[in-house]
Structure 1
Amino acid sequence: MKIDFLQFDFSYLITLISGGACWQGVKFIYPDIKNYFEKRRKAKQILYASMDLAIKSSDELFGKLESLSREDFASFINKDNSISDSPEHNQIYVYYLIGQFWATLENIRIQSNYTSIARLKKGRELIRFIETIESRKFRLLDRSKQRIIGEAMIINSGDKFQVMPLYFFFEKIKSDETFRNWIREIDIQFQLSKKTNIRQRILVYGVIVAMFLDHFDSENKISRRRDIYLIKLRPESIQLIKNILLKHYLSFIKNPKRYYTK
């Protein structure tokens, strides 16, 4: 049989060839596509399974720091003026809330090693928050100390993640000298809060916690929306928040004026 090349529809042949080529290409890259979406799915699982506890712990911590700001840290530096019935008990509770917050962030680091959640926009923003909280300019303690305390507060990790209960925390401080010494690192900072620069550092740290809440729970489904204690912040702290924190560390924050405009 002779083919009349003048009458032959080459578009049909091209379609067959290109279609086959496309199929071969799809077969070649399909495992990579499947792997990409599978990794994103796992990243979302890690992120969202951990965020509820992180938001709850940060809500409790900011509430306590806001309360301390109203009493000008009297529970630590002027117990007679404390609004707490038991300033000593209040002090330990503050340490617990800080350790609890660090534990929730440390669990995210352990579970994801950051590489998986970095695939997601919210994951990258969460990593940026953690980096800020651990940065020399804003952290309460040395990065390694914050991580050690966070790890020490974790009873179970992974799917069974659980932070040490408050009662256990009080008992462990009494019975475990090593644990008590690590918690004393937080205690030293708060006992020095009579110094303006230390107190302001703690208050700025609290503002970062408030940003964390506003960003990851913008509709306040888990947390309670509170005012920022701007009246307690000195001008240099306001400038630090405005010109360094919001411009260079957490530039993606919406409504930045909430954190420095009275």
Structure 2
Amino acid sequence: MAAQGWISLFTAALGGGFTVKTLEIIYQEYKHRKDRRTSDTKTVEVSLEPMLRAADELVGKLRSLAEQDFIPIHDPDTETLGEPGFASVVYLFVQFWSELEILRFRSLSSAVARSPRGRQAQAFLTCLESRRVRLIDRIAQRAIGEAALMNARTMNFVEFIRACDTDPYMKRWLRPLLQVLTHLKRTDMRQRVLQYATVVHALIDTLDVEHLVTSDRPAVPNKLNTKSWKDLNYRVFGVYLTFVTDRSKYIGPPKRRP
């Protein structure tokens, strides 16, 4: 009987120790996962903020021009970018694409991929570079973004204008963007820019819901034609950006042909 008592006590102690060890392992795994999620969140927030600020500036400018049918930048001087209004539009595109390159280099990692916000950012990048959304060739866009980098940061406006005046490579890579922006008298080109701006606008509202670093501004769906409405509704928001729930803010109600 005494032997059985010792055996029972030993078994209970062993079982208790095993339980404690198991609980400790579970707790450590939980803590590790929680710390990793916190770290991932901080990484995404730090990485996205400069890109969101650049996107916000670009959308604000394009929205203002869209309300005027882009008339203020018709017939620009593309040789020297001497007109400040047109030069600022060019720079805002370049700044945004440069921040996308920084984001791509530094942050499109497993840490970002694990974050829901990071996955949404990746979906927007994929959409913006898709064949029927992008304004210029993907490689040309990335080249512009890389050309605007200086010491691992995006050039400011003065540095950019100086580079345009002195750097033949900057002029070379800017050519496709300038070809788009100098043809905004054409309806089809305006609609392409409007579609691109719509996607960037949705990016801002989705990745900065509380608008901590961006502005909460209305869209201009009245400037979209029927074809653009269909492209955005069925392809952009219907395929690439299905998680954007309030698409009507950006494209309005269905458009009918007259």
Match of 1:62 in 2: 59
* Deviation at residue 186 of structure 1 after TM alignment: 0.7
* Deviation at residue 145 of structure 1 after TM alignment: 1.6
- Distance in 2, Cα, partners of 1:235 & 1:110: 37
3-state SS in 2 of match to 1:3: helix
Match of 1:83 in 2: none
> Could you list the runs of 5+ residues in structure 1 that have no partner in the other structure?
80-85
Say if 2:98 is the partner of 1:103: yes
Say if 2:37 is the partner of 1:46: no
Q: Could you tell me which of 114, 117, 140 is aligned with 2:112?
A: 117
1:101-132 alpha-carbon deviations (Å, 9 max, x no partner) = 11222211111233220111111111111111
Instruction: Give matches, 1:111-260, under 5 Å.
Output: 111-157=106-152, 162-260=153-251
Residue pair 1:46, 1:111 contacting (<8 A) in 2 also: no
* Deviation at residue 34 of structure 1 after TM alignment: 6.5
Residue pair 1:149, 1:182 contacting (<8 A) in 2 also: yes
- Distance in 1, Cα, partners of 2:42 & 2:85: 35
1:53 is matched by which residue type in structure 2?
Answer: P
Residue pair 2:75, 2:182 contacting (<8 A) in 1 also: no
* Deviation at residue 148 of structure 1 after TM alignment: 1.7
Residue pair 1:46, 1:112 contacting (<8 A) in 2 also: yes
> Could you list the runs of 5+ residues in structure 2 that have no partner in the other structure?
254-258
Match of 1:92 in 2: 87
Instruction: Report the TM-score, using the length of structure 1 for normalisation.
Output: 0.83
3-state SS in 2 of match to 1:116: helix
* Deviation at residue 16 of structure 1 after TM alignment: 3.5
How many residues align? The count is 249
Instruction: Give matches, 1:30-41, under 5 Å.
Output: 36-37=33-34, 39-41=36-38
Summarize the Cα distance change of 1:234–1:118 in structure 2 as closer, same or farther, 3 Å threshold.
same
1:153 is matched by which residue type in structure 2?
Answer: A
Q: Could you tell me which of 60, 74, 79 is aligned with 1:77?
A: 74
Summarize the Cα distance change of 1:22–1:52 in structure 2 as closer, same or farther, 3 Å threshold.
same
- Distance in 1, Cα, partners of 2:49 & 2:182: 31
Residue pair 1:75, 1:88 contacting (<8 A) in 2 also: no
**Aligned residues: CA RMSD:** 2.8
- Distance in 2, Cα, partners of 1:249 & 1:28: 40
Summarize the Cα distance change of 1:176–1:238 in structure 2 as closer, same or farther, 3 Å threshold.
same
After superposing the two structures, state which structure 1 stretch, 70-79 or 13-22, moved more. 13-22
- Distance in 2, Cα, partners of 1:113 & 1:190: 30
- Distance in 2, Cα, partners of 1:35 & 1:148: 39
Summarize the Cα distance change of 1:22–1:110 in structure 2 as closer, same or farther, 3 Å threshold.
farther
